[in-house]
Amino acid sequence: MKKADIWDIVAYTAIVLAFIWFILKAIGIIKTSLWLELLPLPLGFALMAALYVKADKTYDLVEPAEYRKITLKQAMKEIEKYAAHKRESFWMEDIIKDLRIEPKTVLDAVQKLEKEKKIKPFGK
């Protein structure tokens, strides 16, 4: 069974709250002079929630990460070039995201480059 995502729970809760609001207004339990002014609010929540649920089911909103499988030497060369062109400090996550190299290979390459003193230690 698929585990519920927190955003699915938020979307369905918004839909349920909108329907409860309409029912309470229709019955007359909620009495305000702002009936017409407050009407678009729950409608908007219900519509946004429904669109979110539909989009989530139709489209993959999160792009899966595809890492390149390269050798340790190639990774070290690319990371050296990356470090040379970066003017500000950066983290291993930046290397993984920008160069799309497998995290384990990046970790090994960075440790080796730090030992050889070709790049500065991260976070220091």
The per-residue pLDDT string of the chain (124 residues; one tens digit each, 9 = 90 and over) reads 566 666 667 777 777 877 887 787 778 776 666 665 566 677 777 777 777 766 665 555 555 678 889 999 999 999 989 888 876 677 888 888 888 999 999 999 988 988 888 887 555 4
Distance CA 56, CA 60 (A): 7
| Helix, strand or coil, per DSSP, at residue 66 | coil
Per-residue model confidence (pLDDT) at position 124: 47
Element (H, E) at 108: helix 103-115
How is the chain split into domains, by residue range?
Answer: 6-58, 72-115
